[in-house]
Amino acid sequence: MKVTIDDISIEVPPGTTILEAARMIGENVPPTMCYYSKLEGSGGKCRSCLVQVTKGSEKDPRPMPKLVASCRTTVMDGMEVRNTTSPDVISARKSVTEFLLINHPIDCPICDQAGECDLQDLSYEHGLSKSRYDFKKRVFEKIDIGDYIQMHMTRCIMCYRCVMVADQLTPERVHGVLNRGEAAEISTYIKKAIDNEFSGNMIDVCPVGALTDKTFRFKSRVWFTKPVYAHRDCKTCSGKVTLWYQGAEVLRVTGRKDRWHEVEEFICNDCRFHKKDTADWVIESAAPVSRHSVISQNHNVYEVPVVRKKLQENNKPE
Amino acid sequence: MGLQLLLEHINKPEIETIDGYIKHGGYRTLDKVLGKMSPDEVTEEVKTAGLRGRGGAGFPTGLKWTFLDKSTDKPRYLLCNADESEPGTFKDRLIMQKIPHLLIEGMILSSYALGCRTSYIYIRGEYMFILRILEKAIKEAYAKGFLGENIKGSGYSLDLYVHPGAGAYICGEETALIESLEGKRGNPRIKPPFPAVSGLWGCPTIVNNVESICTVVPIVNMSGAEYAKIGIGRSTGTKLISASGNINKPGVYEIELGLPVEEFIYSDEYCGGIKGGLELKACVPGGSSVPILPKHLLLKESNGNPRLMTYESLSEGGFETGSMLGSGGFIVYDEKQCIVKNTWTFARFYHHESCGQCSPCREGTIWLDKVLYNIEHGLGKESDIDLLWDIQHGIEGNTICPLGDAAAWPVAAAIRHFRHEFEYHVRYPHRVKDEDHVYQPEMNYRTA
Ligand SMILES: Cc1cc2nc3c(=O)[nH]c(=O)nc-3n(C[C@H](O)[C@H](O)[C@H](O)COP(=O)(O)O)c2cc1C
Ligand code: SF4
Ligand code: SF4
Ligand code: FES
């Protein structure tokens, strides 16, 4: 099947979604705040990945009347899609970004997710520099969900990924979505700790800082740490992880994330929270980091952009 | 009174019981259909009749039935949408309360046409007393052998259940209704797949409005071809209109589609004119989700022809100058009514009813509510009007289900046709008491 996105064509197998096709092309990929390829049924909710279908298919060339969620729309043969080349898409994405931010605390300076937050990326690209929302922001009562995971409901964007992790990876889900509409929240109904051996993956899938690692909390900033691939023999999971070092100390263990910020494999809580000693692990290599990421600012820089090189040369000590 | 196909016997008290209903010609269709007509022939009648869904979208019912996936051997379900929660719409309630057997008869015919062994009526939780009426009627129908195993010896069996919702407008959206019926949170599903392929418990499912299903009874009685003669063009048959607002005779009226809007408002047979001899100012012709129209656009189409109560005529001119027939919730405003306040009231409703699944609707509806609150309470700014426009534009068309559109359209139409009222509110604010100045959330989230 042939699909064309922003004038670039690609052949894809039937059943591929527009988003997957865009990821195959690798350029101009719509941002995804809720879709997660490893979680069944995810996507469709945040609306940040909306695209315009200007030609439905070879057979039925009519354009689609509304923008569609690229993560949940399968391609048809001959489909033509506009992503960044459509003013409508850009305008819708701007609106979605604004909507996601009106009640977000924007407390990045004290948020552990800062530096690897999808909402930061989205706002950087599509956000306004000033908020048009002059009302009190929504605040939720804090709830304690146990010793490992810190929950900040105010930062949540209701992507439902953590609920799906609990449904799909663990034998029993003890948290979910309560209430309706703008008052909807992620919570454990009867204040209860979330406790099972895969619960930590909720931290990895959370696109924002609503679920963070209590064992890493306030220890450092992600851009001061250095990601390293490592593995161990684990009975529960694959044992393939990323260790985040500061100096010789392992501050944090996470799953290995790909280009789309999705983990390659889910890991167990034992690996994540209890193995923070280099001796526990077999070190593989430095983890690849995109040079656009702030994490590359201190470490793992693949290529120094020209501007920076010049700056560095100019600033050389005499 | 014009032609009454559904409400003919509404004022006869005995019509509530099965014997009274049979006395007035009820359940005749079973003998005509079961074992005599094939299911496809029934569907064909409904198609010929040109019946369009009465739940709001106006999608042709017969055509929808043909989408039902018959290729699997999974059970098929017919779900009757009795969630009726749209502000301004109260027609289904009248039928279910007064003529429950009409709905049951319609359910039997429709289920037969679709090949369903089990069907459900999903009724809104606030209609608990009607649920009891329906359950009593279903019991009576079982006792007569109209429901259950081998109905009237025809070999066709059907079980019918009533299921209450828990008070959410969104559960009227067909996929949210299915989720709710499955015992889950009433979040609309992302389509495709459509219910006709994968609905209740992953089985092929059709969802229809109460009135649509009831209308199958007169269609079978008089034949689809006869039914199609009523009305104008693609708007065939009769439609129940819930009339409310500043009129002399509010209530539910059965009209032949094609009646001029002006006649409906002013004739004594229907609304009986504006209350207190005041002037008509505006009207929401199809339930709170459809655009409001000022008098001059309401009574005449853009080409000067009188506007008619049909799907086509009411939407003539698109949203620039038209509206929609929707679910037939006809709300009339006299010259003293404030459009800003009305828009805020609607916005509050959608804010309260959003399921919260997708960001534009979850966050946009609360924002609309708050900005409109400010304008209404004398705290608005000139720029707020454009802001409202931007917000509604950001919601419209960008959401999972049409609730987002339903929240956006009334705001857009109010600004389009009554911008001067918004400007007046901003320029000449009538301030309210100080303690009311801060927006008070009506939702009880657990705030810190
Ligand atoms: C937010 C929302 C609420 C709805 N509420 C109702 C309702 O209360 N009753 C109803 O019949 N249809 C309602 N609908 C329309 C249904 O989704 C569906 O289109 C209808 O039940 C189909 O029946 P019909 O084809 O017979 O009209 C609603 C739709 C939306 C988006
Ligand atoms: S807590 Fe995080 S993962 Fe869960 S719904 Fe909120 S944003 Fe998504
Ligand atoms: S549009 Fe509103 S009600 Fe519909 S799915 Fe989205 S959040 Fe829920
Ligand atoms: S990623 Fe597609 S809607 Fe959220």
pLDDT per residue rounded down to tens, chain A (318 residues):
899 999 999 999 999 999 999 999 988 899 999 999 999 999 999 999 999 999 999 999 999 999 999 999 999 999 999 999 999 999 999 999 999 999 999 999 999 999 999 999 999 999 988 899 989 899 888 888 989 999 999 999 999 999 999 999 988 888 999 888 888 989 887 677 888 889 999 999 999 999 999 999 999 998 889 999 999 999 999 999 999 999 889 999 999 999 899 999 999 999 999 999 999 999 998 888 877 777 766 544 444 444 444 445 555 554
What residues have CB less than 8 Å from B437, skipping those under 6 apart? B377, B379
Q: Is B60 in the pocket of ligand 1 (CB under 6 A)?
A: no
Residue B1 pLDDT level (bands cut at 50, 70, 90)? low
Are residue A204 and residue A230 in the same domain, yes or no? no
* Look-up of token digits 């199958």: B216
| Residue A100, domain member (yes or no) | no
Name the fold adopted by B18-229.
Rossmann fold (3.40.50)
Q: Is B57 in the pocket of ligand 1 (CB under 6 A)?
A: yes
Q: Is the peptide bond before A105 cis (omega within 30 degrees of 0)?
A: no
What is the predicted pLDDT for the residue at A187? 87
Pull the structure tokens for residue A74.
């399968």
For residue B360, the chain A residues in CB contact (below 8 A) are 47, 95-96, 99
Please report which ligand is nearest the Cα atom of B123: 1
C-alpha distances in Å from residue B99, one per residue of A294, B84, B237, B256, B390:
68, 16, 19, 20, 46
Q: How far apart are CA B336 and CA B279, in angstroms?
A: 9
C-alpha distances in Å from residue B396, one per residue of B247, B290, B447:
32, 13, 29
B439 and A CB contact within 8 Å: yes
Q: Does the pLDDT of residue B104 top 90, yes or no? A: yes
For residue A70, the chain B residues in CB contact (below 8 A) are none
Cβ-contact B253, B265 below 8 angstroms: no
| Residue A81, domain member (yes or no) | yes
Write the class of the CATH domain B232-334. alpha beta
Pull the structure tokens for residue A36.
């997660």
Q: Can you give the residue range of the structural domain that contains A122?
A: 108-128+137-213
Are residue A159 and residue A236 in the same domain, yes or no? no
Q: Give Rg (Cα) of chain B.
A: 22
A182 and B CB contact within 8 Å: yes
Alpha helices in B53-127 (DSSP H): 61-66, 91-98, 100-114
Q: Closest approach of chain B CAs to the CA of A88, in angstroms?
A: 10
Cβ-contact B86, B327 below 8 angstroms: yes
pTM above 0.90, yes or no: yes
Q: Is B362 in the pocket of ligand 3 (CB under 6 A)?
A: yes
* Look-up of token digits 């779900």: B79
Please determine, for the modelled complex, whether the ipTM score is greater than 0.95. no
| Residue A318, domain member (yes or no) | no
A128 and B CB contact within 8 Å: no
| pLDDT tens digits, B74-97 | 999 999 999 999 999 999 999 999
* Residue B292 CB-density burial (10 A; 0-12 exposed, 13-18 middle, 19+ buried): buried
B448 and A CB contact within 8 Å: yes
What is the predicted pLDDT for the residue at A314? 52
What is the predicted pLDDT for the residue at A306? 44
Q: How far apart are CA B189 and CA B322, in angstroms?
A: 30
Q: Does the pLDDT of residue B441 top 70, yes or no? A: no
Q: How far apart are CA B155 and CA A175, in angstroms?
A: 47
For residue A67, the chain B residues in CB contact (below 8 A) are 397-398
Cβ-contact B160, B82 below 8 angstroms: no
Residue B300 pLDDT level (bands cut at 50, 70, 90)? very high
- Identity of the residue numbered B355: C
Alpha helices in B115-168 (DSSP H): 128-143
Which one has a higher pLDDT value, B448 or B430?
B430
A30 and B CB contact within 8 Å: no
Which CATH code is given to the segment(s) B339-432? Answer: 1.20.1440.230
Q: How far apart are CA B270 and CA A140, in angstroms?
A: 50
The DSSP result for B79-92, as a single string, is EEEE---STT--HH
Are residue A10 and residue A78 in the same domain, yes or no? yes
Of A96, A140, A176, the CB nearest to B359: A96
CATH of the domain at A121: 3.30.70.20
| Residues near ligand 2 (Cβ within 6 A) | A 156-162, 186, 205-208, 210-211
Number of domains into which chain A is organized: 3
| Residue A311, domain member (yes or no) | no
Q: How far apart are CA B380 and CA B341, in angstroms?
A: 13
For residue B366, the chain A residues in CB contact (below 8 A) are 103, 181-182
Cβ-contact B369, B408 below 8 angstroms: no
User: In 3D, which of B141, B139, B144, B102 has the Cα closest to residue B15?
Assistant: B102
| Residue A313, domain member (yes or no) | no
B24 and A CB contact within 8 Å: no
What is the predicted pLDDT for the residue at B420? 93
Residue B447 pLDDT level (bands cut at 50, 70, 90)? very low
| Residue A275, domain member (yes or no) | yes
**How far does chain A reach from its first CA to its final CA, in angstroms?**
61
Q: Closest approach of chain B CAs to the CA of A218, in angstroms?
A: 22
C-alpha distances in Å from residue B91, one per residue of B61, B231, B244, B264, B349:
18, 19, 11, 16, 20
Ligand 3 atom nearest to A45, measured from its CA: 6
Of A43, A99, A180, the CB nearest to B394: A99
| Residue A277, domain member (yes or no) | yes
Q: Is B348 in the pocket of ligand 1 (CB under 6 A)?
A: no
Q: How far apart are CA B349 and CA B88, in angstroms?
A: 12
Cβ-contact B22, B100 below 8 angstroms: no
- Domain boundaries in chain B? 18-229, 232-334, 339-432
Are residue A250 and residue A203 in the same domain, yes or no? no
| pLDDT tens digits, B314-332 | 999 999 999 999 999 999 9
What is the predicted pLDDT for the residue at A209? 95
Give the Å distance between the CA of B169 and the centre of ligand 3.
11
Select from A188, A213, A238 the last residue of a domain: A213
B359 and A CB contact within 8 Å: yes
Cβ-contact B6, B79 below 8 angstroms: no
**In Å, how far from its chain's centre is CA B263?**
22
What residues have CB less than 8 Å from A311, skipping those under 6 apart? none
A80: helix, coil or strand?
Answer: strand
What is the predicted pLDDT for the residue at A305? 42
Pull the structure tokens for residue A244.
């985040």
Q: How far apart are CA A318 and CA A34, in angstroms?
A: 51
Are residue A122 and residue A204 in the same domain, yes or no? yes
Are residue A114 and residue A85 in the same domain, yes or no? no
Q: Return the C-alpha torsion angle B37, B43, B44, B48, nearest 10.
A: 130
CB contact under 8 A, A181 and B399: no
What is the predicted pLDDT for the residue at B235? 95
| Residue A268, domain member (yes or no) | yes
Q: How far apart are CA A105 and CA A128, in angstroms?
A: 15
